[in-house]
């Protein structure tokens, strides 16, 4: 089955900084309404795609729709814009990038800083900080203020491209998961499932798993799956034990990250399900960083039996994130199999 690249491209392009997910939410709603029994939106903006099963047990799948971005904090006398980050950035990745400021209309700008030609030797040898950067729109203060105000969100500008058997874009973290969840719901549209499925497109993950926490409190899931990208450090200079995952070697089954120790029963179930369905997979242990899996697992009375499907991705939190088409397809296949067969496993502690 070939991937719907046109849809993935549109999902990656749609802006949605944390707390400002309006446009990506609208796209998601348009895609999912024909696929499920019910669609709900909560006060935070999480979108719930609900497919009823044969039993009233609940399976929550979390895929965050927000992308790392920025927010306008100041406009100076020359029209240059200062900003604060929304999500985690390596400051050196901001150099020479274009951004879109979402004001009364979308305004293109560039990340700029002091030119190297006029830096002292001490300045040249310092690691950059996000506060070293400002945004230049090529407009005067009056022109900027006519379109942009303090508090407007900012996203990164970069096209989606195919490279060999890979896709490359800004915001594959976590638009890959949005795409995978939509494609899973398409596949399940006319099929019976054992338990109620709550496919939740969550908000504000990049600033602290906020949407998933609220959604889990509302759903009270029995089982849960996080869907997110993970580090693929299969690059020059990486030792074997540092790679986390590798591109093209299958979807990743999370064992743990900094915010979650996946339930060992869920890990075993996912591995057996993958093997039974001839789905290529690799284990994932990520010692830094977390995902919606933490909220799904913990933010309900008694907790849920939770794990995660992770999509190996190179160059995370940059505008050149890269993932293998095969790994994306394997992730779709594993999610479909896991929610379809979840009533066949012995979930008792042993």
Tell me the residue range of the domain where 215 lies.
Answer: 5-67+170-341
Binding positions are 64, 173, 206, 228, 317
Q: What is the tens place of the pLDDT at every residue in 15-45?
A: 999 999 999 999 999 999 999 999 999 999 9
CB 281 within 8 A of CB 334: yes
The answer on 333 and 213 residing in a single domain is yes
- Tell me: do 85 and 24 sit in the same domain: no
Query: For 56-65, what is each residue's pLDDT tens digit?
Result: 899 999 999 9
Asked whether the predicted pLDDT for residue 264 surpasses 90, the reply is yes
Within 10 angstroms of residue 313's Cβ, the number of other Cβ atoms is: 27
**Alpha-carbon separation of residue 213 from 174, 258, 292 (angstroms):** 17, 16, 8
Q: How far is CA 322 from CA 168, 169, 230, in A?
A: 4, 7, 11
Mean per-residue pLDDT for 99-105? 98
Q: What percent of the chain has pLDDT over 70?
A: 100
The model's confidence at residue 123, banded by pLDDT at 50, 70 and 90, is confident
* CB neighbour class for 126 (10 Å; exposed up to 12, middle 13-18, buried from 19): exposed
- Asked whether residue 212 falls in the same domain as residue 132, the answer is no
State percent of the chain over pLDDT 90: 96
Cβ–Cβ < 8 Å for 307, 226 = yes
Q: Which residues are annotated as a binding site for Zn(2+)?
A: 64, 173, 206, 228, 317
Mean predicted lDDT score pLDDT of the chain: 97
Q: What is the CATH number of the domain that holds 33?
A: 3.40.630.10
Q: Is residue 205 annotated as a catalytic residue, yes or no?
A: yes
- Same domain, yes or no: 152 and 177: no
Do 80 and 59 share a structural domain? no
What's the whole-number mean pLDDT along residues 196-202?
98
214 Cβ contact partners less than 8 Å away, ≥ 6 residues apart: 42, 44, 46, 299
Say which CATH number the domain at 83 has.
2.40.30.40
Q: Give residue 14's pLDDT.
A: 98
Q: Please say which residue of 156, 184, 217 terminates a domain.
A: 156
Tell whether 200 is covered by a domain: yes
Integer Cα distance of 307 and 227 in angstroms:
9
In a domain, 349, yes or no: no
DSSP secondary structure string, 163-202? ETTEEEETTHHHHHHHHHHHHHHHHHTTS--SEEEEEEEE
- Kindly state the average pLDDT of the residues 165-188: 98
Q: In whole angstroms, what is the distance from residue 275 CA to residue 271 CA?
A: 6
Residue 201 has pLDDT above 80, yes or no: yes
* Distance (Å, whole) CA 121 – CA 119: 6
Q: Give the pLDDT confidence score for residue 113 in this predicted structure.
A: 93
Output helix, strand, coil percentages for the chain, rounded to the nearest 5: 30, 30, 40
Q: Supply 343's token pair.
A: 């009533």
Helix runs in the chain, H state only: 5-13, 22-32, 121-124, 141-147, 172-188, 210-219, 264-276, 293-298, 325-340
Q: Is the pTM of this model over 0.75?
A: yes
Residue 1 has a pLDDT of 57
- Given 205, 249, 284, 321, which residue is catalytic? 205
Domain boundary among 132, 156, 180: 156
Mean pLDDT, to the nearest integer, of 236-264? 97
270-288 pLDDT tens trace: 999 999 999 999 999 999 9
């Amino acid at each position: 089955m070939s991937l719907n690249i046109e849809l993935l491209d549109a999902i990656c392009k749609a802006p949605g900084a944390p707390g400002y997910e309006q446009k990506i939410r609208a796209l998601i709603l348009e895609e999912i309404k024909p696929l499920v029994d019910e669609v709900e939106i909560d006060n935070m903006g999480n979108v719930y795609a609900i497919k009823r099963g044969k039993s009233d047990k609940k399976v929550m799948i979390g895929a965050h729709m927000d992308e790392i971005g920025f927010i306008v904090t100041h406009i100076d006398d020359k029209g240059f814009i200062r900003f604060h980050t929304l999500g985690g950035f390596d400051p050196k990745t901001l150099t020479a990038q274009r951004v879109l400021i979402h004001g009364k209309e979308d305004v293109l700008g560039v990340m700029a800083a002091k030119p190297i030609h006029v830096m002292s030797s001490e300045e040249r040898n310092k690691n950059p900080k996000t506060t070293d950067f400002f945004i230049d729109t090529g407009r005067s203060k009056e022109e900027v203020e006519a379109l942009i105000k303090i508090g407007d969100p900012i996203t990164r500008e970069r096209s989606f491209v195919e490279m060999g058997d890979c896709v490359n874009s800004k915001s594959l973290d976590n638009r890959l998961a949005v795409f995978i969840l939509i494609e899973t719901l398409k596949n399940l549209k006319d099929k019976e499932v054992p338990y109620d499925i709550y496919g939740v497109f969550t908000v504000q993950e990049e600033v602290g798993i906020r949407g998933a926490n609220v959604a889990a409190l509302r759903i009270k899931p029995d089982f849960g799956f996080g869907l997110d990208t993970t580090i693929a450090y299969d690059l020059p200079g990486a030792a074997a034990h540092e790679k986390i995952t590798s591109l093209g070697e299958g979807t990743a089954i999370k064992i743990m990250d900094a915010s979650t120790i996946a339930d060992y029963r869920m890990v075993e179930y996912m591995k057996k399900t993958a093997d039974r369905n001839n789905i290529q997979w690799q284990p994932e242990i990520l010692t830094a960083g977390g995902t919606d899996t933490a909220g799904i697992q913990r933010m309900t009375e008694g907790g849920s039996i939770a794990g995660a499907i992770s999509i190996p991705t190179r160059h995370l939190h940059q505008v050149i994130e890269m993932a293998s088409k095969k790994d994306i397809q394997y992730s779709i296949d594993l999610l479909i199999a896991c929610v379809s067969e979840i009533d066949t496993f012995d979930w008792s502690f042993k």
